[in-house]
Amino acid sequence: MRKTLLAVVGAMVVLGLVSALSYSQQKTFQYVGVTKCKMCHQLKPRGEQFQKWQNSAHAKAYEVLATEQAKAVANKAGVQGDPQKAAQCLKCHVTAYDAPASAKSATYKMEEGVTCEACHGPGSEYWKMNVMKDLYDGKIQPASVGMTVPNEQLCKTCHNEKSPTYRPFNYQQAVAQIAHPVPKQ
Ligand code: HEC
Ligand code: HEC
Ligand code: HEC
Ligand code: HEC
């Protein structure tokens, strides 16, 4: 009798854990926007990743769609209307354009262009200090908190022949051009 009771209680604990685990796996990681990352990643000892990004073409990827050049590009590609409103352009010129609204937090802004999260993944579960440190120290798996490890394949989801202004993409050179390392202590 006692044994059965223990077994039942044991099974309930295990089931509880399993459902808690599957719940955490189902959590939607949300895009939080670049202001969250700026807080910590504008600091000099950390490597000023924010400033490096801000001075890169990626930070201007939405703005550039308002230029005369963009209108000409759109025209030639047969895209009607304002390029800043055209899905055919936005899908490569802003972060996560095709992601559902549920994956975007209130602080996400399309106007920020191609942001940190376009390459590193939605930040809602990893931007807190303790998580960031554990990630950096290799104590947790990036994917478990929504972080993507950027590689050549990821860049080529945008840097490919479907870009109306496509230029051959050399990964080594391009990565060097946008480098933003954490300084070695
Ligand atoms: C509360 C401070 C804080 C915030 C906010 C923050 N980070 Fe970090 N991040 C850190 C720290 C600390 C490290 C470890 C490296 C270091 O000491 O600078 C780090 C490391 C990283 C790394 C390297 C991880 C690795 O495993 O090599 C990436 C990528 C990163 N952050 C991206 C982001 C992005 C994208 C955002 C915004 C969504 C963000 N961080 C927001 C503090 C922060
Ligand atoms: C498949 C992804 C992709 C699509 C779709 C896309 N772009 Fe781009 N766009 C890029 C990339 C990547 C660059 C950087 C240069 C390059 O390799 O084309 C760029 C650069 C630009 C530039 C800057 C000029 C330059 O030579 O760097 C303009 C303007 C532009 N795109 C306009 C548009 C317009 C307008 C549309 C929609 C009709 C569009 N793009 C659709 C990826 C894309
Ligand atoms: C266009 C893609 C792209 C964007 C945008 C981008 N990163 Fe990165 N980031 C990378 C790549 C690629 C690496 C190098 C990964 C490696 O070394 O394996 C990297 C590395 C890092 C690292 C780790 C550096 C180290 O020394 O370990 C941090 C921290 C980081 N990024 C933060 C940011 C933050 C914060 C932003 C926005 C302000 C940002 N990144 C924007 C692609 C990007
Ligand atoms: C979400 C789409 C997207 C992703 C992912 C992306 N880029 Fe870009 N990238 C762009 C767009 C759009 C531009 C042009 C923006 C402009 O001219 O204003 C650009 C411009 C650049 C430029 C400036 C030179 C040029 O060709 O205009 C470099 C360098 C670059 N990207 C490197 C990278 C690297 C390296 C990665 C991967 C680690 C990457 N990008 C991932 C969309 C993307």
Q: Which atom of ligand 2 is nearest to the CA of 167?
A: 17
H-state helical runs in the chain: 2-26, 34-41, 49-54, 68-76, 87-93, 116-120, 129-136, 152-155, 171-177
Mean pLDDT of the 145-156 span: 98
Mean pLDDT of the 98-123 span: 97
In the numeric block, the tokens 């000892």 are attached to 45
Per-residue model confidence (pLDDT) at position 3: 54
1 pLDDT above the threshold of 70? no
Q: Which atom of ligand 2 is nearest to the CA of 79?
A: 38
Give yes or no for residue 21 CB within 6 A of ligand 4. Answer: no
Task: Provide the pLDDT confidence category of residue 26 given band limits of 50, 70 and 90.
Answer: low
- Give me ligand 3 centre to Cα 14, in Å: 39
pTM of the predicted model, to two decimals? Answer: 0.92
Per-residue model confidence (pLDDT) at position 101: 96
Q: Which atom of ligand 4 is nearest to the CA of 151?
A: 38
Give yes or no for residue 160 CB within 6 A of ligand 4. Answer: no
7 pLDDT above the threshold of 70? no
Contact 146, 126 (CB under 8 A): yes
Ligand nearest to the CA of residue 74, numbered in listed order: 2
pLDDT in tens, 123-144: 999 999 999 999 999 999 999 9
Contact 46, 181 (CB under 8 A): no
Domains and CATH numbers, the chain: 29-177 (1.10.1130.10)
